[in-house]
Amino acid sequence: MKKRAHEDGTWTEVDDIPIVTGRLWEGSGPPKLKRAHDLEGLPIEEVGTLYALCRDLFVGAWPQIMFGPCVQGAVFELKLDQPPELSMLDGYLTVGIGPPSHFHLCIGPHRGLGRNLTPPSLARARQCRRASFLRLVHPDRGPRSWQIELVNGNDEQMITFFLPSPFLTPDLKPRRDPDWGRLDLWNRLRRDYLGESAPQPIPEGARAGGPCG
C-alpha cells in the first residue's frame, strides 16, 4: 500500500492492481472489433485485467457505482440507469451509455487502424498503465470514500469509479448509522484483483460526516 498526503490533512491509501494484458490482444494481425457477447465469460488470461475489471464494474455492478473524471476543481459522478453496451477495438473500450452518448478508454495494446498507425510513444501515452484501489481517509472520521482509478501512460487520470459508501444510502442520502454491508463490492473486487483472502477490517471510530460521506 502507498499513501498520498493531501494539503487538507486527509490522505489516500493506494493499492495498485497487477495488470495482465490478455491473450486476445497480443496478436500482431489487424485489430478486430469485439463486442461484449464475444467476450462474455472469458477469463482474465484471455481478456486482460482491465477489460475484466471494467466488465465487472459496468456490467456486473452498474446499479451500485458512479463514475467520471475526478480532478482538482472538477468531479463528475455519473450513474447508469441500465447496463451499458461494451465493445473493444484497437485497445479502446467503448462504453455506450444511451444512444448517441458513449465514451472510450484505452485499456489494451493500441496500434492504429489500417494505414493510420499510431506512433509507439503516443500509444504508450494513451494506454492505461495503472489501475488502483483508492480509499480516502480523514484523520478524525476515518475512511470517507472508496474508489477505483485508471491512469494513462502520461500519469493522467482517465476515470474514477466511485463504489458504495457505508455512510450513504443507495440514493446518496447520509445515513445515521454506517451500513458496512455496502463495502461488499469493494471487498469482493479486492479479493478478485488483489488476491485478498479476507475483507478489510471495519475501521474503528469511523463516523459519518463530511462531503465524501
3-state secondary structure of 152: strand
Q: Is the pLDDT of residue 212 over 60?
A: no
As a dihedral over the C-alpha atoms of residue 63, residue 184, residue 15, residue 169, rounded to 10 degrees, the angle is 60
- Judge whether 182 lies within some domain: yes
212 in any annotated domain: no
Question: Does pLDDT of 202 surpass 90?
Answer: no
Given pLDDT bands bounded at 50, 70 and 90, which one contains residue 207?
A: low
pLDDT in tens, 150-185: 999 999 999 999 999 999 999 999 998 999 999 999
Asked whether residue 199 is domain-assigned, the answer is no
Indicate the number of domains in the chain: 1
Q: Residues for the chain: how many in total?
A: 213
Residue 27 lies in a domain: yes
Instruction: With H, G, I as helix, E, B as strand and everything else as coil, classify residue 143.
Output: strand
Q: Which domain holds residue 71?
A: 2-194
Over residues 40-53, the mean pLDDT reads: 96
Q: What is the pLDDT of residue 210?
A: 47
Q: Does the residue 34 lie in any domain?
A: yes
Q: Does a structural domain hold residue 67?
A: yes
From the CA atom positions of the chain, what is the Rg in Å?
A: 18
Inform me whether the pLDDT recorded for 203 exceeds 80.
Answer: no
With respect to residue 188, please indicate whether it lies within any of the assigned structural domains. yes
**Prediction pTM value:** 0.93
Share of the chain above pLDDT 70, in %: 95
Residue 109 has pLDDT above 50, yes or no: yes
Residue 200 lies in a domain: no
Give me 163's grid cell.
463504489
The domain that holds 181 is classified in CATH as 3.40.1570
211: pLDDT strictly greater than 50: no
